[in-house]
C-alpha cells in the first residue's frame, strides 16, 4: 500500500502557503528569544543569521526532493530511496522525537502565556486543555486542520508585522520606551555587542535551531496538496524571505528597541516591548497572539507525526495502530501515539515547571538536526542518481550543491558538539544521544526481519490473492 493512499488531498494553495508561514514562525521566536537575548545580548542576531542560512539550504534541498516525489512520507521516503531502509526508520523516529518534545515545549509555553492573565490557575491544567483542543481538531479532518492553521498563521504574520512596523518607528524616531531610548545605540550599549562574550553566542545555536524547527512541515503537506509541483516551489521560496524578515529582522529590532537586559525567559519579548509602550491593551493582544502561535505549532506537530508514523506503519516500521485511517481520512492511530507522549509532558511540567521548556526544546533540537541532515544528505543522493542517469533531476534545485550540502552538514554537527559545553538542560539532551542510538538500533533489529519477511511474502503471493 502506498503511504499516501487514503488521504483526501484537501489542502489548497492558500492553506499550504500559510502552513509554510506557520512553520517558519513558532514559539522558539515568540518565547525562546527572550531568554536567549538575556544570555547572549545583541549578538544573538548572528546566531539567527547563520542558522537561517542553513535553514535556507535545507529548504531548497527539500524543494528539490518534493518536486522529485511529492509524498506525505517526506524525508522518511527520501531516506529509504537514497540512503537505505534503516535510515528511513531512524530519521522517521527522530522526527517523531522532535515533534513530541516540541509539542511539550509548546504546551509549556501556552501555560506560561496564560499565567499572565490567570496566575493562580494551575499551569499543568492549562497545558492539558490546550492538548485536548488541538487533538480534537486533528482527529476531525485535514480540511479543518488546514483552515485552522491558515488563521493561526495569519495571526502570527499580523503580530510580527505589527511589531516590525512599531519597532521600526520607535528606532527611527528614537522614542522613549520604558525609561530607555530606542535606537541603534542599544546594540552596543550595556556591555557592547558581545556583552557576555562570543562563546555564549555559539552556545545559543541549539536553541536557535529549535526556533527554526518545523519549516520542513510544508514538505509533509505535499502528499495532501492539489498540484504540488506548482504550489510547492512558491511555498518553499517564500520561507527564505520570511526567515530574513521575521527572524533576523525581529531579533535585530528587539535588541534596538529595548536594552537586551530588559528581556528574560519568563515572558515573550514581544509582550515585553508592547507592555513597555504603556498601551493598556497592546500587551494583552500580543499575549493572545503568541498563545495562538504555540497552539498552531502543537497543532502542526500532531498533524505531521500522524502522517510520518502512518508512512512507517505501512512498511511495518511503526506500531500497526499508527497505520489506521478514520472515516474522515485522518491517521488517528499515529496522532494518538504522539498525543499520549504530550500527555506525559504535561505530567513532566507538573513536577519541574521551571525547566520543562528548556529540556523539551533541547531534546527536540536533536530531532531537528537529524531531519535537516537527512534532507540535505538525501539531496546529495538524488543529485548522484541524476548524474548516473537513473532519474531526471527537477529544475527546482538546491543552489551550490554538493558543496553547500557538506557545509550545512558540518554546521549541524557543530551545533550538536557544542551542546555539552552549554547549560545543564542542553547537556541532558546531549547525553540522551547514546540512549536514542541504542533504542533505534534495537528497534531496527526487531523490525528489519519482519520487514524482509513481509516483502518476501508479497513477492511470492500469487496474482489475485490478498
Q: What is the mean pLDDT of the chain?
A: 84
pLDDT at 277 over 60: yes
User: Between 349 and 295, where is the model more confident?
Assistant: 295
What is the predicted pLDDT for the residue at 22?
A: 61
> What's the mean pLDDT in 107-115?
87
What is the predicted pLDDT for the residue at 145?
A: 72
Cβ–Cβ < 8 Å for 251, 33: yes
* pLDDT tens digits, one per residue of 217-229: 666 666 556 676 7
6 pLDDT band (50/70/90 cuts)? Answer: very low
275 pLDDT band (50/70/90 cuts)? Answer: confident
* pLDDT tens digits, one per residue of 23-52: 557 677 777 888 899 999 999 999 999 998
pLDDT at 301 over 90: no
* pLDDT tens digits, one per residue of 358-407: 888 899 999 999 989 999 999 999 999 999 999 989 888 899 999 999 99
> What's the mean pLDDT in 121-147?
84
What is the predicted pLDDT for the residue at 220?
A: 62
pLDDT at 244 over 50: yes
pLDDT at 214 over 90: no
98 pLDDT band (50/70/90 cuts)? Answer: confident
pLDDT at 438 over 70: yes
pLDDT at 7 over 70: no
* pLDDT tens digits, one per residue of 156-207: 888 888 889 999 999 999 988 878 899 999 999 889 999 999 999 999 998 8
Lowest mean pLDDT, pick from 156-170, 197-211, 236-250, 436-450: 236-250
User: Between 10 and 335, where is the model more confident?
Assistant: 335
What is the predicted pLDDT for the residue at 234?
A: 76
Q: What is the 3-state secondary structure (H, E, C) of the chain?
A: CCCCCCCCCCECHHHHHHHHHHHHCCHHHHCHHHHHHHHHHHHHHHHHHHHHHHHHHHHHHHHHHHHHCCCCCHHHHHHHHHCCHHHHHHHHHHHHHHHHHHHHHHHHHHHHHHCCCCCCCCHHHHHHHHHHHHHHHHHHCHHHHHHHHHHHHHHHHHHHHHHHHHHHHHHHHCCEECCEECCHHHHCCCCCCCCCCHHHHHHCHHHHHHHCCCCCHHHHHHHHECCHHHHHHHHHHHHHHHHHHHHHHHHHHHHHHCCHHHCCCCCCHHHHHHHHCCCCCHHHHHHHHHHHHHHHHHHHHHHHHHHHHHHHHHCCCCCHHHHCCCCCCCCHHHHHHHHHHHHHHHHHHHHCCCCHHHHHHHHHHHHHHHHHHHHHHHHHHHHHHHHCCCCCCCCCCCCCCCHHHHHHHHHHHHHHHHHHHCCHHHHHHHCCHHHHHHHHHHHHHHHHHHHHHHHHHHHHCCCCCC
What is the predicted pLDDT for the residue at 8?
A: 46
What is the predicted pLDDT for the residue at 105?
A: 86
What is the predicted pLDDT for the residue at 14?
A: 56
What is the predicted pLDDT for the residue at 297?
A: 79
User: Between 2 and 435, where is the model more confident?
Assistant: 435
> What's the mean pLDDT in 17-26?
61
What is the predicted pLDDT for the residue at 416?
A: 95
- For the chain, what are the domain ranges? 13-444
> C-alpha grid cell for residue 156?
502570527
Percent of the chain clearing pLDDT 70 (strictly above) = 88
pLDDT at 286 over 90: no
Cβ–Cβ < 8 Å for 20, 243: no
Q: Which pTM was predicted?
A: 0.84
Domain 13-444 has CATH 1.20.1740.10: yes
Amino acid at each position: 500500500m502506498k503511504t499516501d493512499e487514503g488521504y483526501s488531498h484537501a489542502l489548497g494553495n492558500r492553506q499550504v502557503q500559510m502552513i509554510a508561514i506557520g512553520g517558519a514562525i513558532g514559539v522558539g521566536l515568540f518565547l525562546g528569544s527572550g531568554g536567549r537575548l538575556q544570555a547572549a545580548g545583541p549578538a544573538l542576531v548572528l546566531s539567527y543569521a547563520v542558522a537561517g542560512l542553513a535553514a535556507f539550504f535545507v529548504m531548497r534541498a527539500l524543494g528539490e526532493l518534493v518536486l522529485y516525489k511529492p509524498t506525505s512520507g517526506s524525508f522518511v521516503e527520501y531516506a529509504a530511496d537514497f540512503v537505505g531502509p534503516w535510515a528511513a526508520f531512524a530519521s522517521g523516529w527522530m522526527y517523531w522525537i522532535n515533534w513530541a518534545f516540541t509539542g511539550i515545549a509548546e504546551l509549556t509555553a501556552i501555560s506560561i502565556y496564560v499565567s499572565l492573565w490567570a496566575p493562580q490557575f494551575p499551569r499543568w491544567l492549562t497545558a492539558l486543555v490546550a492538548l485536548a483542543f488541538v487533538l480534537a481538531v486533528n482527529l476531525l479532518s485535514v480540511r479543518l486542520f488546514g483552515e485552522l492553521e491558515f488563521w493561526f498563521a495569519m495571526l502570527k504574520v499580523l503580530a510580527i508585522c505589527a511589531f516590525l512596523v512599531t519597532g521600526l518607528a520607535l528606532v527611527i524616531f528614537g522614542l522613549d520606551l520604558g525609561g530607555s531610548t530606542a535606537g541603534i545605540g542599544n546594540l552596543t550599549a550595556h556591555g557592547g555587542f558581545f556583552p557576555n562574550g562570543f562563546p555564549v553566542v555559539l552556545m545559543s545555536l541549539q536553541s536557535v535551531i529549535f526556533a527554526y524547527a518545523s519549516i520542513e512541515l510544508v514538505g509533509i503537506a505535499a502528499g495532501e496538496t492539489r498540484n504540488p509541483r506548482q504550489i510547492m516551489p512558491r511555498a518553499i521560496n517564500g520561507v527564505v524571505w520570511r526567515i530574513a524578515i521575521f527572524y533576523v529582522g525581529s531579533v535585530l529590532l528587539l535588541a534596538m528597541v529595548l536594552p537586551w537586559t530588559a528581556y528574560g525567559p519568563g515572558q515573550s519579548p514581544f509582550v515585553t516591548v508592547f507592555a513597555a509602550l504603556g498601551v493598556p491593551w497592546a500587551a494583552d493582544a500580543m499575549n493572545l497572539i503568541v498563545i495562538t502561535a504555540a497552539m498552531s505549532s502543537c497543532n502542526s506537530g500532531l498533524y505531521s507525526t500522524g502522517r510520518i508514523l502512518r508512512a512507517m506503519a505501512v512498511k511495518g516500521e511503526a506500531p500497526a495502530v499508527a497505520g489506521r485511517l478514520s472515516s474522515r481520512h485522518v491517521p488517528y492511530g499515529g496522532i494518538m501515539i504522539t498525543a499520549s507522549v504530550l500527555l506525559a509532558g504535561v505530567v513532566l511540567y507538573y513536577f519541574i515547571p521551571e525547566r520543562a521548556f528548556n529540556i523539551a526544546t533541547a531534546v527536540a533540537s536533536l530531532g531537528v538536526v537529524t531531519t535537516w541532515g537527512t534532507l540535505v544528505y538525501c539531496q546529495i543522493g538524488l543529485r548522484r542518481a541524476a548524474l548516473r542517469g537513473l532519474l531526471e533531476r527537477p529544475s527546482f534545485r538546491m543552489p551550490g550543491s554538493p558543496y553547500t550540502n557538506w557545509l550545512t552538514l558540518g554546521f549541524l554537527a557543530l551545533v550538536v558538539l557544542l551542546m555539552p559545553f552549554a547549560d545543564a538542560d542542553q547537556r541532558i539532551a546531549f547525553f540522551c544521544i547514546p540512549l536514542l542510538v541504542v533504542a533505534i538500533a534495537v528497534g531496527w533489529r526487531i523490525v528489519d526481519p519482519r520487514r524482509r519477511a513481509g516483502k518476501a511474502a508479497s513477492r511470492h503471493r500469487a496474482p489475485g490473492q490478498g
